[in-house]
Amino acid sequence: MRTGRLAFFVAALMLVAAMVPSALGAGTAASASPAVLAGVPVAGVSSYVDGAFVSTDYAYDDHDVAYPDGLTNAADLVQLHIGLDGGAVHVRAILETLRDAHVPVLGVGFDTDNNPRTGMASFPGGRWTANPALGLDAVAVVHSAGGWLLRPAGARWTTVARFPTRVDAGANLIDATIPLRPGAARWRMYAVLGAADANGHDWVDGSQPISDLAFVGDEAPANWQHQHQDAVLAGAADSRAAGALVDFGLLASRATRPAPPLGPGFHTLLYRSRLRLGEGIGQATIDAPGRTPAPVGSLYAGPYQPYLVWLPGHLPPRPPLIVHMHGFGGDHTSDAGEFGPVRSDKTVAGLFIGDGGFTPPAVVAFPLGRGENTFYMGPAEQDVLDVTTDALARFGADPDRVVLSGVSMGGFGTFRIGIRFPDRWSALVPFIGTGGSAQYEFGAVPGPVLDEVLSPSRFPAGAAELLDNLADLPIRMVNGQVDPLVNNVLVSQDTLRLDQLGYDYRAWVLLRRQHEVVPALSNCVLLEALTHRRQVDPAHVVLAVEPAMFMHDPATGLDLHYDHAYWVSGVVVRDGADTGSVDVTSLARADRANDSSRIVAAGENVTSGADLCGPNDAVHTGDAWREVGIELRPARSRQPVGNGLGASLRAVSDVTLDLGRMGLRVDHPLAVAVTGDGVANVRLVGPWTGRRVVVERDGTRVAVLHPTRALLTLTGDLSGRHVYVLRSSPS
């Protein structure tokens, strides 16, 4: 039985409580236009793509490499292409990081007779103890200074040809045409990558290590996925795992032979990010206004970002998607052990990576979040959004059934990202996380001090005050009563706020648990979350906005604005205010009201089997818990409908509403009731062009408008409550 996993450290909680993350530090200036990955980039998988043999490697699998001269991630192979150029072998290597063209050294080995008993046992330099022998009949060494083709001469290698090379630091690639002509033969090939030091020494002369092998697959979903590769390099695993049999006849015919579909279990995927963060492994920081940025660990700045996926035994044609974020100190593989059937074999590894329990019938994507300790802010937040987009496209997943979830720091991220983009998700499931209600934990600290070290509205990351945004997004929370890291006071205040708002929520507190996740006990929570569908055009939208949390950096391409959701956009908070909010209801929707039931319950599985949702004979974890929540369901009586809307604006000077998505018409009289607290613009998007619009305010005609585009703006002092009626006719 899985009893829990520590995913977060006290120091991390103290840090995030003391500083507001506004951006994550990046590395040096970014390269321009890194190469596009070919095919479907799945790590450890090879296929034929339009006349090229394409093999994708694991990103950042050089974690244990001792690079020279303080280099990091300097020779990390992401993808290798093998093709033909005028009948000669062409190779292209795409790297995660390529800042200095003189650093990477690529080696390509050829067993041309497919006989490991002939040729050389391994590459020159002795840094790969191949077991069994590779039987290399030729090796091409590719470097910025040129290429060398080596052939065996007795027990030594000798250079038999030179050839030109291209090492493009802007595109992160190494390119060369090797003077070997395979015809239509099938050759077994190997490839290695390493870094040269400042004196030009590298793996070829044995002075520097080989940092990466091509073609190695079947890496376990743990610890940056380099253990199998390390074992192959050390001779402890079969060297044939690092070889590929390449059919040059297929390359000559420009064949495409896709890899087999991904089966159940874990797979590592890569996508190409549009951000320009400087490559390499930099320093992630958390900033606070007027304070020195605090380092929080590594920032994986490269253009090719990995994420893990778990696939169940069966998926429907348009499967749901769960995006699950790791805790502090973890990576995209850290929560792999929580997923899959409960494993009865008790191993030491199981104590650290889990023994299963979460079994949702969904694609589960695990983002890296650009680092182990990034709190899903800035580039890390963008990574979560990009992984969501990529996974939806790759698996044909249903965009209306996307659950955002996470553990510990990932639970914090679930609040943070879910609340800021409420229209992207169908449900939120934070485990041992909180909305960061700092005013309750630090209530005795004077306001000016909080303003200095926290966000302008006194929340780390400004999440809790935005709980209003969950009007159309169910949330399910699971926490431990005696959690020493995520204070249960914070969790209780989040729960109280959701209860005050009357939103659809559930909150379970495990009375005997600390900072732990119990998958078998909580699996039903994920299953219930999958029953919800994303609200695309709800009848009622609430959007609270905190401009201080916006991020716009033209240098990196990072642009995160939280001023829109559903059919509301362009929310501008009035000067001098920290936050603003809009609350808008379409009167054209008969389903704009809900009936509700309050949930107050307790449970245990000490005396009989149960999970958090009810009796379950298969679950005996020795737990007791309490549950509170509100269940919402469509009202039994339909609401009267009309062509109008009601809006409440607080500290907002500008807002745009899409009338079509609200179900409203411009060719009928349109009533707009607005309650505000100052001058504001209410912009109404609709088919206004070519129409004459008579505007009445509180029963008095105030204007006749002739819109020239699909936008009509109501402007004025909206303090108090005012009713506009718009009567339009063709001009």
Q: Decide: 149 and 140 in contact? Cβ < 8 Å.
A: yes
pLDDT of residue 6: 37
Mean pLDDT lowest for which of 102-111, 278-287, 404-413, 420-429?
278-287
pLDDT of residue 347: 44
3-class DSSP assignment, residue 391: helix
- Who wins on pLDDT, 335 or 15? 335
- Predicted confidence (pLDDT) per residue in 649-684, tens digit: 999 999 999 999 999 999 999 999 999 999 999 999
Q: Which CATH architecture has domain 10-21+281-535+601-634?
A: 3-Layer(aba) Sandwich (3.40)
- Predicted confidence (pLDDT) per residue in 113-130, tens digit: 999 999 999 999 999 999
3-class DSSP assignment, residue 459: coil
- Predicted confidence (pLDDT) per residue in 593-606, tens digit: 999 999 999 999 99
Extended strands (E) in 587-678: 594-604, 610-611, 614-615, 624-634, 644-650, 652-658, 670-676
Mean pLDDT of the chain: 89
Burial class from Cβ neighbours inside 10 Å (0-12, 13-18, 19+) for residue 593 reads middle
The bridge status of strand 624-634 relative to strand 594-604 is: antiparallel
Q: Which token pair is 66?
A: 């001792």
pLDDT of residue 608: 97
Work out the pLDDT band at 356, boundaries 50, 70, 90. confident
Work out the pLDDT band at 436, boundaries 50, 70, 90. low
Q: How many Å from the N-terminal Cα to the C-terminal Cα in the chain?
A: 73
Once rounded to an integer, what is the mean pLDDT over residues 550-567?
A: 95
| Dist CA 556 CA 264 (whole Å) | 37
Work out the pLDDT band at 731, boundaries 50, 70, 90. confident
Q: Which CATH architecture has domain 46-252?
A: Sandwich (2.60)
- Predicted confidence (pLDDT) per residue in 225-239, tens digit: 999 999 999 999 999
Q: Could you write out the DSSP letters of every residue in 174-189?
A: EEEEES---TT-EEEE
**Number of separate helices (H) and strands (E) present in the chain:** 11, 40
3-class DSSP assignment, residue 467: helix
| Dist CA 498 CA 34 (whole Å) | 45
pLDDT of residue 460: 43
Q: Is the dihedral of CA 436, 439, 442, 447 positive or negative?
A: positive
Burial class from Cβ neighbours inside 10 Å (0-12, 13-18, 19+) for residue 393 reads exposed
How do the domains of the chain map onto residue ranges?
A: 10-21+281-535+601-634, 46-252, 538-592+639-731
Once rounded to an integer, what is the mean pLDDT over residues 366-370?
A: 98
3-class DSSP assignment, residue 476: strand
| Dist CA 281 CA 25 (whole Å) | 11
Residue type, 265: G
714-730: burial string, b at 16+ Cβ within 10 Å, e else = bebebeeebebbbbbee
Q: Which token pair is 104?
A: 């990477």
Q: Could you write out the DSSP letters of every residue in 59-121?
A: TTTTTT---GGG--STT-EEEEEEEEETTEEEEEEEES--S-TTSEEEEEEEETTS-TTSSBS
Q: How many residues does the chain have?
A: 731
CA angle, residues 309, 314, 317, in degrees to nearest 5? 90
Task: Tell me how crowded residue 106 is: count the other CB atoms within 10 A of its CB.
Answer: 27
Mean pLDDT lowest for which of 12-16, 263-267, 414-418, 439-443?
12-16
Q: Decide: 650 and 706 in contact? Cβ < 8 Å.
A: no
Q: Torsions phi, psi of 530, nearest 5?
A: -70, -15
Q: Torsions phi, psi of 395, nearest 5?
A: -105, 5
pLDDT of residue 283: 87
**Is a pLDDT exceeding 80 seen at residue 255?**
yes
**Is a pLDDT exceeding 90 seen at residue 501?**
yes
How far is CA 646 from each of CA 458, 653, 674, 688, rounded to the nearest angstrom? Answer: 30, 17, 6, 20
**Is a pLDDT exceeding 90 seen at residue 285?**
no
Extended strands (E) in 179-312: 186-195, 210-213, 244-247, 265-272, 281-286, 294-300, 304-311
Q: Decide: 371 and 298 in contact? Cβ < 8 Å.
A: yes
- Predicted confidence (pLDDT) per residue in 174-221, tens digit: 999 999 999 999 999 999 999 999 999 999 999 999 999 999 999 999
pLDDT of residue 486: 84
Output helix, strand, coil percentages for the chain, rounded to the nearest 5. Answer: 20, 35, 45
pLDDT of residue 355: 65
Instruction: Read off the pTM.
Output: 0.91
- Closest C-alpha to 210, from 54, 61, 59: 61
Query: Which residue's structure tokens are 């070290």?
Result: 453
- Predicted confidence (pLDDT) per residue in 404-432, tens digit: 999 999 999 999 999 999 999 999 999 99
| Dist CA 24 CA 374 (whole Å) | 7
**Is a pLDDT exceeding 50 seen at residue 530?**
yes
**Is a pLDDT exceeding 90 seen at residue 549?**
no
**Is a pLDDT exceeding 60 seen at residue 350?**
no
Work out the pLDDT band at 586, boundaries 50, 70, 90. very high
- Predicted confidence (pLDDT) per residue in 8-22, tens digit: 333 333 333 322 222
CA angle, residues 112, 51, 308, in degrees to nearest 5? 95
Percent share of the chain, pLDDT over 90: 81
Query: Which residue's structure tokens are 């390119």?
Result: 175
